[in-house]
Structure 1
Amino acid sequence: MKTFDRIHDYLVTARHFVAYCLLCVFMCSNTFAQDETASETQASPSAHSPAVAAVLDMPRDTPADAMEAVMTLIDLNAWDAATEVFKPIAAEKLSPEEMAVIAHRLGTARLLSLAGTAGEKQIPGARVFAQKCLAAAEKLARSPDNLQELITELGSDSAETRQAARHDLAVIGTPAAAACLHALATATDKDTRAELMLALTGMRPLVNPLVVAALVDGKGQFRRDVAELAGHLQLVEAVPWLATLAAGSDENPEVIAAAQGALLKLGLSLPNQYDALAVVKRAIERLDTGIPTDEISRDSDLWWSYDPEKKVVSSREFSPALLRSLAHTRLTQNYLVLVSASSEDRQLAILSAIETAHLLDQAPPNEILELAKGLSVEQLSSMLALSMKSNRGAAAVTICEMLGERGDHGALTSFDGLPTPLARAVNDPNPEVQFAALAAIMKINPQQSFAGAGAVPAALWRFAAGSGTPQAVAGAPTAAHAEDWAGGLRGLGFDAIPVFTGIDVVRTALESPRLELVLVDSNIGKPLIREVVYQLRTHSRLAHVPIAVLTGSEDMALGAELAGVDDHLLSVSRPHGAEAMKSLVDRLAVLADNHYTAEARTQKATQALEWIAELMRDGGPYDEMLRNSDDLERTLFQNELSQASLGALAAAGTAGSQQALADFASLPSQPLELRRQAAKAFADSFEQFGCLLTADQIAAQYDRYNASESADAETQQVLSEVLDTIEKKKKSEDISK
């Protein structure tokens, strides 16, 4: 601040000097005019102008002096002379501090005029130079040292100094507001805090979301000050938290009193617990109906939060949808401190906090997890139902994990014959929720059947088949379109299947365990597009699969109507070319609940196969475990799933499983160690279930052994082990007979 004052003083002196020189020049103009009349027609007007000469004779000890001369020459319309003075300045590598001094010496308006069209045309490089000076000045003004100096000047004995500091802080804007709030959080002196609050009131409205964030998570004296500040700012957005605090939800009486005072400044009556609850609920309703707030502004994508440990406010950029979710969570946290809130209200607050932590890529707060762990199985089940209904996938996953850790059969016990929320979660549209529910059920390990038990085997087999290339369906009434789109999808790494009728779109989607998206032409028939979309959405596991309805100009209104009621459906014009297809796939990926990597799908498939093997080996209340056991013959030959498939085949106890094991053990193209494991699994199956092979299959195995005469010793050994298993079992069966 003092540096800039000195610059200003110097600037006034310099201008006075220039004015004095100009006055002398004009007083002597008649003498000069008589002597140089003859030569003016041969030289430029500026070359011999006494005013220009006077400016050029001024001392230019610093780059700021030189730029002052440049601007004065421009004012005199001496562009050539100004250019000559500017060239060495532009060529010199000025420091950011020197550029900032230039900006403060000349002022923003004069630098902007230099950067204008006329300045750039007459003086090449002027625009870039002016922009660099302004940027350097802004960066210097926002620097922590400068902000701290201005904040220190708020405590000056001079009223003018304090006023100037408040003005400069307001001009700097958001960084100054954040710095002032940090200073307020650490200040203890009453006068200092008052000056900081006065400075912050001069930064409205940009300071409003920062104050709300500080009010939500602030503690003690700082929260008291922020509550008072909200009243001075007439901050209506803070009313839900002020009402909650004013109703007695803070242990600090000063905070309660400050909140009550703020409400009175806003012209509102003092609330009790039930009034505060009603205020919070109304705010949530307004948010759900799409009414913008300071947290969700049409002009900003920033979300402000306060860290009570570091005592700083910070911002992150999010999409409008995520901002709405964050604002919803912030409001619902009031339920946790209002004694008038119902059990359902508190459950919503817990779910919202867990979901928001996931969206922010953070772990849920420990206090929230502790609240959830303190709930009964019945309450957790209720929360799981609410999270699935409101499409809070991350919260549903967390609740499933908690139910699994409890290991309580009550999570699967139903008294009305309907599946419990945990049993229903196995068929949730979100695959992450499905898998978490399966994991919980496997930990609970029920020994008796329960409502919804039939969904468990189907889900296990679905995940077991989920490893590999992602699948897509491309449906159109004409083969040209369907095959063209399928080809474009294959080029992007999808296993894409073209189909030509609506019913085939639905059937193929249901038969695709790795389905990631569906493209369907608006002119599809048998049935029409509305029915196709309806049928896809009636199947729970397809309810959130991204769909693109591809339209022509005649069906754009229909497509927009379908997209308006389905968050996972996109209506676009028919794509033409690879770039258009890639753009479409990228847009559909945003609509998906989860974005799986190949590794993630393989991990889930491996775990599902291990669970299948466990249930087949140890038994369980699932009568249909073997229905899809033929799928093991496919997963066995997927390198990443071979080992897990061997365990499931050994426990399957079917003729097909024993034949698959014998075939795999006999293949020299497979790794030797896996073939040995297959021979061991074959022996285990024979030991438990006996020989299920036919005579022809046994004969074929002898033929393989005889044909391996020229094979390596290891291969012969594996084939011999398979035959030893068959012969040993046959002998034991003969003896028993």
Structure 2
Amino acid sequence: EEELQPEGAQLSNIIRQAIKQRYDDTSNLDQILTLLESDKPSEQQLAIEELRRKGTPSVIALADMFKDPTLEDRFQTIRRALVIMGSHTRDPLVGYLGSSHEAQVANVIEVLSYLRETRIAAALLSHAIVNDDRTGVGQAARKALVRLVGALPSNQDAEEYLRTRLNYYLEGNVEALPDANMKVAVWNWDNAAQSITIQSYDVRVGSLIDVARVAADLYKLDPENEEYRLMHYRSLLEETKVTNGLDNALDMADGSPGADAASHGVGFIVEVLESSLADRRFPAAIAATEILGDIGSTELVAAVNGQPSLLVEIAQHPNRRLRLAATEAILKLDPQQPFAGSTFVGESLAYFVSTAGVRKVLTGDVTGTKSQFWIGLLGQMGYSGDRATTGRDLVFSALRSSDYEFILVGETIQNPPIQEVVQLLRSQPRTAEIPIAIVSDNPEDGAGARISKRDDATFCIASPNSVDSLLRHARRFLQTAQYQGITINERFEQSERAIRWATMILADSKYEFYNLQRHTKYISEALFTPNISSAAAEALQHIPSPVAQKALVLLASNPGVDVGLRKTAAKAFKESIDKHGTLLTRPEVLAQYDLYNRSLGLDDATIDILGFILDAMEARVSAQPETNSDSGE
């Protein structure tokens, strides 16, 4: 029997492949349709049996035939074939409702009605009421609704039904059934490609896609309703931002959802932003903020009753992507005079520049061995962990760094206790929304459990004893904060963008009101992070500070650093001296001469760079005091 096992497995694999090939094969559809049209019952039965073995590729191939006017005489047969294939045709066919081909949509609607899929009633309401009864789509939708629900609803009934569905989806529910991994398959019509597409999404993303679809239908029913207009564009921007990637800029090309929303004007986009913030729909808020940066004016940064405007306030928002969007929007609007909260912009740029570029978690527990064990688990997950032994140290560390993805803290933490620690973290913009996991011996009824019930971003868990258990928890923590995690590469990209903006500000004296020089320390530290070193060097050359010059010299003089980066730093140092003179102290200057004299045995590139630094200092000699304060800090 053991000798037969490989052959049995091989045979089983061959059978599975044959079944799949038959399932996916669309080459014989024309033959099957001919059999289905036959007067002979035996041939019709053969066609029916073949159709029931067919899969999604055949559904798509048949539905695509509705676009071909030369096949109109066969449309009835195609509809019958799709109905025979059964309920698995429903989801891809619903995607065709967005097609721009009237005949295709009308025929698909008829097929769906014969499948008795009452779940599509909401999708048909706008087609039935908005489209004229004389159109093929309007007629098909009306007949389908009567077939499915027994009557054609009034406009009021349709609105009430759609509002009910909207609230259902806003609560996080989805239309499609999620799979074992809590993913849903979403079918959509791609106008550009003139074809149907399928994409798998997390159920939360699927929910907001359903929200956008129903909100669009409500807006179609009553385009004069301001509430519906607001909900439509808010959900459309949210869906677009999430499905296209939160790390990508909103598409503003003609015909895009961004351009469509922008056409309603600055005032309306501000309303979308306010609504999105109020309901914590941050992807929509990010999209609205990006639009304001493109179409707004400096009026958006003008003080309101002496207080910073909404856009300026958002430059301090705890949501990382939203904060950057607001900061960049303000800079695109290019105010050239001080405004209420203008220092927020510099603080925000410093926040992004200060990224360390690694995935970090902050841990805290009175027992050092526990937090050390957690850090060991985190290390196996690709995280770097920092430790705190008191509540005060934990809060201080969280506020000092912008890199922590979540906080893992023992319930027994003291000085202050866990309740005060969470309160302090939630009261600060930088940590207001960071996920917090409280590790408790009693995760159901302890102090941590009570705190977690009052705060959606705080969790109470049993002490993790393996990488798998901590990984499961971590996924849940991070999902509460965002639809799409922020990768290391995105952090670097955000940091580089911030440095580029900082360079623009520092290079022009008219932007001095941002007071960016006081953040020299963060730009100097960024110089030693390879991914953003070149950008930091360009910014530092514009800062008249000994801190900036010293950082440039240190990097350029370090033989362990990539030669290209060292040359970039050396050139920036020369530019700094040309503009501001030599700001290093005399001992620091003498140290450079000593370094050069001791470098004669090193490689040529190092010698050349060190010589270049000395030449730069000698080209413009300035009287130097014995000591200089680090005024750049």
TM range (shorter): 0.7 to 0.9
Pair 1:349 & 2:243 matched: no
Q: Flag the 1:278–1:708 CA change in 2: closer, same or farther, 3 A.
A: same
Partner of 2:361, secondary structure, is strand
State the partner residue of 1:280: 162
State the partner residue of 1:628: 519
Rounded to whole Å, the distance in 2 between the matches of 1:627 and 1:160 is 86
Q: Structure 1: which amino acid aligns with 2:622?
A: E
Q: Flag the 1:435–1:219 CA change in 2: closer, same or farther, 3 A.
A: same
Question: Aligned-pair distance for 1:180?
Answer: 3.6
Question: Aligned-pair distance for 1:479?
Answer: 1.4
Rounded to whole Å, the distance in 1 between the matches of 2:536 and 2:359 is 20
Rounded to whole Å, the distance in 2 between the matches of 1:523 and 1:454 is 38
The match for 2:126 among 228, 244, 249 is 244
Residues 17-28 of structure 1 correspond to what in structure 2 (within 5 A)?
none
Question: Aligned-pair distance for 1:466?
Answer: 0.9
Pair 1:652 & 2:543 matched: yes
Partner of 1:375, secondary structure, is coil
Residues 191-230 of structure 1 correspond to what in structure 2 (within 5 A)?
192-217=74-99, 219-230=101-112
User: Does structure 1 retain, via aligned residues, the 8 Å contact 2:97–2:109?
Assistant: yes
User: Does structure 2 retain, via aligned residues, the 8 Å contact 1:223–1:255?
Assistant: yes
Q: Flag the 1:534–1:202 CA change in 2: closer, same or farther, 3 A.
A: farther
Partner of 1:182, secondary structure, is helix
Pair 1:603 & 2:493 matched: yes
Pair 1:337 & 2:220 matched: yes
Q: Structure 2: which amino acid aligns with 1:627?
A: R
Q: Flag the 1:203–1:421 CA change in 2: closer, same or farther, 3 A.
A: farther
User: Does structure 1 retain, via aligned residues, the 8 Å contact 2:540–2:572?
Assistant: no
Rounded to whole Å, the distance in 2 between the matches of 1:135 and 1:646 is 58
Q: Flag the 1:400–1:130 CA change in 2: closer, same or farther, 3 A.
A: closer
Q: Please, which moves more after superposition, 366-375 or 619-628?
A: 619-628
Rounded to whole Å, the distance in 2 between the matches of 1:152 and 1:128 is 36
Residues 120-519 of structure 1 correspond to what in structure 2 (within 5 A)?
129=11, 132-133=14-15, 136-137=18-19, 139-140=21-22, 142-170=24-52, 172=54, 174-186=56-68, 192-217=74-99, 219-249=101-131, 253-267=135-149, 269-271=151-153, 275-289=157-171, 293-294=175-176, 301-307=184-190, 313-340=196-223, 342-361=225-244, 366-406=255-295, 408-490=297-379, 492-519=381-408
Question: Aligned-pair distance for 1:446?
Answer: 0.9
State the partner residue of 2:570: 676
Pair 1:545 & 2:438 matched: no
Partner of 2:15, secondary structure, is helix
Question: Aligned-pair distance for 1:225?
Answer: 2.2
Unaligned runs of 5+ in 1: 1-82, 92-119, 731-737
Q: Flag the 1:230–1:573 CA change in 2: closer, same or farther, 3 A.
A: same
Unaligned runs of 5+ in 2: 601-606, 626-633
RMSD across aligned C-alpha pairs, in angstroms? 4.0
Partner of 1:332, secondary structure, is helix
Question: Aligned-pair distance for 1:666?
Answer: 6.6
User: Does structure 2 retain, via aligned residues, the 8 Å contact 1:151–1:180?
Assistant: no
User: Does structure 2 retain, via aligned residues, the 8 Å contact 1:705–1:720?
Assistant: no
Q: Structure 1: which amino acid aligns with 2:521?
A: D
Percent pairwise identity:
23
Instruction: Tell me the TM-score normalized by structure 2.
Output: 0.81
Question: Aligned-pair distance for 1:455?
Answer: 1.8
Partner of 1:468, secondary structure, is coil
User: Does structure 2 retain, via aligned residues, the 8 Å contact 1:244–1:273?
Assistant: no
Rounded to whole Å, the distance in 1 between the matches of 2:490 and 2:197 is 33
State the partner residue of 1:103: none
User: Does structure 2 retain, via aligned residues, the 8 Å contact 1:518–1:548?
Assistant: yes
Rounded to whole Å, the distance in 1 between the matches of 2:173 and 2:468 is 37
Partner of 1:303, secondary structure, is strand
Residues 320-359 of structure 1 show CA distances to partners (whole Å, capped at 9, x for unaligned) of: 2222222222222224533445344334333433433444
Rounded to whole Å, the distance in 1 between the matches of 2:454 and 2:65 is 48
Partner of 2:464, secondary structure, is coil
Q: Structure 2: which amino acid aligns with 1:601?
A: R
Q: Flag the 1:136–1:255 CA change in 2: closer, same or farther, 3 A.
A: same
The match for 1:614 among 504, 512, 516 is 504
Q: Flag the 1:320–1:387 CA change in 2: closer, same or farther, 3 A.
A: same
User: Does structure 2 retain, via aligned residues, the 8 Å contact 1:216–1:241?
Assistant: no
Rounded to whole Å, the distance in 1 between the matches of 2:85 and 2:220 is 31
Q: Flag the 1:407–1:617 CA change in 2: closer, same or farther, 3 A.
A: farther
State the partner residue of 2:604: none
Residues 382-415 of structure 1 show CA distances to partners (whole Å, capped at 9, x for unaligned) of: 2233344445544444433332233511222354
Q: Please, which moves more after superposition, 536-545 or 505-514?
A: 536-545
The match for 2:586 among 656, 673, 698 is 698
Q: Flag the 1:127–1:562 CA change in 2: closer, same or farther, 3 A.
A: farther
User: Does structure 1 retain, via aligned residues, the 8 Å contact 2:64–2:104?
Assistant: no
Q: Flag the 1:225–1:499 CA change in 2: closer, same or farther, 3 A.
A: same
Q: Flag the 1:685–1:130 CA change in 2: closer, same or farther, 3 A.
A: closer
State the partner residue of 1:718: 613
Question: Aligned-pair distance for 1:435?
Answer: 1.8
Rounded to whole Å, the distance in 1 between the matches of 2:493 and 2:16 is 54
Rounded to whole Å, the distance in 2 between the matches of 1:608 and 1:584 is 32
Q: Flag the 1:492–1:340 CA change in 2: closer, same or farther, 3 A.
A: closer
Question: Aligned-pair distance for 1:716?
Answer: 4.5
Count of equivalent residues: 606
Q: Flag the 1:604–1:150 CA change in 2: closer, same or farther, 3 A.
A: same
Q: Structure 2: which amino acid aligns with 1:698?
A: R
Residues 563-583 of structure 1 show CA distances to partners (whole Å, capped at 9, x for unaligned) of: 566555554332235565566
Q: Structure 2: which amino acid aligns with 1:611?
A: W
Partner of 1:474, secondary structure, is strand
Rounded to whole Å, the distance in 2 between the matches of 1:217 and 1:529 is 55
Residues 22-42 of structure 1 show CA distances to partners (whole Å, capped at 9, x for unaligned) of: xxxxxxxxxxxxxxxxxxxxx
Q: Flag the 1:230–1:349 CA change in 2: closer, same or farther, 3 A.
A: same
Q: Structure 2: which amino acid aligns with 1:609?
A: I
Partner of 2:261, secondary structure, is helix
Instruction: Tell me the TM-score normalized by structure 1.
Output: 0.71
User: Does structure 2 retain, via aligned residues, the 8 Å contact 1:211–1:226?
Assistant: yes
Q: Flag the 1:337–1:621 CA change in 2: closer, same or farther, 3 A.
A: farther
Rounded to whole Å, the distance in 2 between the matches of 1:294 and 1:657 is 56
Q: Structure 1: which amino acid aligns with 2:235?
A: S
Rounded to whole Å, the distance in 2 between the matches of 1:327 and 1:726 is 68
Question: Aligned-pair distance for 1:535?
Answer: 3.3
Q: Flag the 1:424–1:127 CA change in 2: closer, same or farther, 3 A.
A: same
Residues 217-239 of structure 1 show CA distances to partners (whole Å, capped at 9, x for unaligned) of: 35311222233334434432222
Residues 680-729 of structure 1 show CA distances to partners (whole Å, capped at 9, x for unaligned) of: 24424535xxx766xxx335524653675455574355325325534379
Q: Structure 2: which amino acid aligns with 1:725?
A: R
Rounded to whole Å, the distance in 2 between the matches of 1:295 and 1:350 is 26
Rounded to whole Å, the distance in 2 between the matches of 1:659 and 1:410 is 40
User: Does structure 2 retain, via aligned residues, the 8 Å contact 1:457–1:624?
Assistant: yes
Q: Flag the 1:701–1:140 CA change in 2: closer, same or farther, 3 A.
A: closer
Q: Structure 1: which amino acid aligns with 2:526?
A: T
Rounded to whole Å, the distance in 2 between the matches of 1:404 and 1:309 is 27
Q: Flag the 1:272–1:685 CA change in 2: closer, same or farther, 3 A.
A: farther
Residues 361-393 of structure 1 show CA distances to partners (whole Å, capped at 9, x for unaligned) of: 478693423312312122222223334444554
